[in-house]
Structure 1
Amino acid sequence: MKRILLSAAVTALLLTPLACNFDQLLAEKVMVGTLLSTPDVDVSLYAMAGGDAGTLPDGGVPEGERLTIPGQTAAFVFFATRNGEQGTPEPITDATVRIEVQNGTPIALDNKGVGTYSATSDFGDETGVKYQNGATYNFVAVHGGNSHVGQVKDAPALERIDALHPAGGYVRHIANMGLTLKRPANGGKERTLGFVTVVPVDTDGQKGEPTYTNMPKEPLDFLQLVTATGEWQRESLPIPGSAFPQKDSNYLVIFQTAQLGGAQSDNLFTGSTMLVGTADLGLVHTIE
């Protein structure tokens, strides 16, 4: 199955439109980079138990009844060499990788092996990864004395999904039933990419493994975003019932809006894909 996914990703990589300079089209190095942020979310302990959420008029949760699930910003880069027109890109394991943002301190990413580099921080970590609306982010991989740069311009602001913020403070939903969210009107402008992930959360705020996501899972799968953005720009966001498998349980629904970027330097292949974005979150409590 993984080989099929890689093959599809490589095909998408090779079919990238030629809206680039000739050097980028012939470049051997390819990069996938993401910088994705989620804010803190306050949930009511009553809501976690399926009762009255106890929210304040402004939508907040009273002190003493509140559980804060910490926000997080995660940066990730996959860096590789293209292996001919038919082969899977070969990971580069000895690069130095960082993310740069205007008027900010460069973010050094740790080498995790197999061509992957990453860094993660909580919002309260003053030395870690930061997210800035409207900023331009450069993803820089230095290898063999050369810098390879991908770029995302105009990092998007949070896109609020009203259905995730009902008056009661959380969504009461029947287990194993699908849920459809609707993105706000965009005034005729092109939408940013939108991804949905559902994560179970226990009464202590600890998150489990996702029960659903429509975000690409493997680094090379992200390359398909270059040629198939429409799938992630739709107004309606259907979530299957399998995302909410257990009754009397809590699930965090995360809607990630992200701006798409690509190769900036001439020595980086035009099919390289970068994403920068932030998220809206809501709590779903399942009933029978």
Structure 2
Amino acid sequence: MKRILLSAAVTALLLVPLACNFDQLLAEKVMVGTLLSTPDVDVSLVAMAGGDAGTLPDGGIPPGEERITIPGQTAAFVFLATRNGEQGTPEPVSDATVRIEVQNGGTIALDNNQSGTYGLTSAFGDDSGVKYVNGATYNFVAVHGGNSHVGQVKDAPALERIEALHPAGGYIRHMASQGLTLTRPSVAGGKARTLGFVTVFPLGDGGAKGQPTYTNMPKEPLDFLQLVTATGEWQQSTLSIPGSAFPEKDSNYLVVFQTAQLGGPQSDNLFTGSTLLVGTADLGLVHTQE
């Protein structure tokens, strides 16, 4: 399966629009970059237990009601590679210096995680400098061999609220192993939708997130390159989460809907198929019934 996905990603490198910067079409370096944010979320302990919890009009929890906070985070990631001919798999670049520049908002230096990957994550209480700003322009900059390779995402999207994730009771009552459909809000002015990704995490008693039970987000760096030629799959007005995302009865799951703006190469020395994403997320709690 992984070989099939890799082949599809490499094919995506070859199916880029021909009406593009010719230098970028021939450029050797290819970049995948993401900066994705999730907010803190307060969850009522009553809701975690499947009981009726009070909520405020904005979806918050009334003062005095016991709660836990599931900390949000902003994660920055870059994969840099050198294209190996027209058919070969890109070769990771492991000795670059990588940063993200936020227009009018400073610079984020990423750690070298080897194998061509660079990243940094800010968690609850972290002052690493990884921040998300609605409407900002983000430049992903990789310096290698004395040359700067720059990708850019403009107009970072605001949070896209999914009403079904915010019922009056504070959480979604749902049957285990049953699918869940979410509807995205309409888009005004005939604008194209941002890309939308869904990930489901099981939650422990203290709100700790386990490994995802479902995601429609690409899992490997090279898989993101398919977004350049197949954005429609992630721009649908409805999102279908399979029942396998909620396998256990009387359990809690965190549904994360990530909306992201797609960007691409800014400098001539970065391949036109490079893929950059910046976005933020809406969150909802699901409690499965017996």
TM beyond 0.5: yes
Partner SS, residue 140 of structure 1: strand
Query: Could you tell me which amino acid in structure 1 is paired with residue 181 of structure 2?
Result: T
Taking the aligned partners of 1:53 and 1:128, their CA distance within structure 2 comes to 35
Structure 2 stretches lacking a partner, 5+ long? none
The 10-residue stretch of structure 1 (153-162 or 118-127) with the greater mean CA deviation from structure 2: 118-127
Partner SS, residue 217 of structure 2: coil
Structure 1 stretches lacking a partner, 5+ long? none
Taking the aligned partners of 2:64 and 2:86, their CA distance within structure 1 comes to 59
Alignment check: 8 A CA contact 2:44 2:65 kept: no
Partner of 1:182: 183
Which residues in structure 2 correspond to 1:57-96 (within 5 Å)? Answer: 57-61=57-61, 62-96=63-97
Partner of 2:110: 109
Partner of 1:257: 259
Seen in structure 2, the aligned counterparts of structure 1 residues 287 and 140 have a Cα distance that, compared at 3 Å, is same
The 10-residue stretch of structure 1 (15-24 or 214-223) with the greater mean CA deviation from structure 2: 15-24
Partner of 1:44: 44
Query: Could you tell me which amino acid in structure 2 is paired with residue 85 of structure 1?
Result: E
Matched, 1:4 2:30: no
Taking the aligned partners of 2:286 and 2:256, their CA distance within structure 1 comes to 11
The 10-residue stretch of structure 1 (114-123 or 251-260) with the greater mean CA deviation from structure 2: 114-123
Which residues in structure 2 correspond to 1:1-288 (within 5 Å)? Answer: 1-61=1-61, 62-122=63-123, 124-187=125-188, 188-288=190-290
Query: Could you tell me which amino acid in structure 2 is paired with residue 77 of structure 1?
Result: V
Could you tell me how far 1:102 is from its partner in structure 2?
Answer: 1.2
Structure 1 stretches of at least 4 aligned residues deviating more than 4 Å after TM superposition: none
The two structures have a TM-score, normalised by structure 2, of 0.97
Partner SS, residue 276 of structure 1: strand
Identity of aligned residues (%): 84
The two structures have a TM-score, normalised by structure 1, of 0.98
**How many residues get paired?**
288
Query: Could you tell me which amino acid in structure 1 is paired with residue 118 of structure 2?
Result: Y
Taking the aligned partners of 1:223 and 1:229, their CA distance within structure 2 comes to 10
Alignment check: 8 A CA contact 2:23 2:269 kept: yes
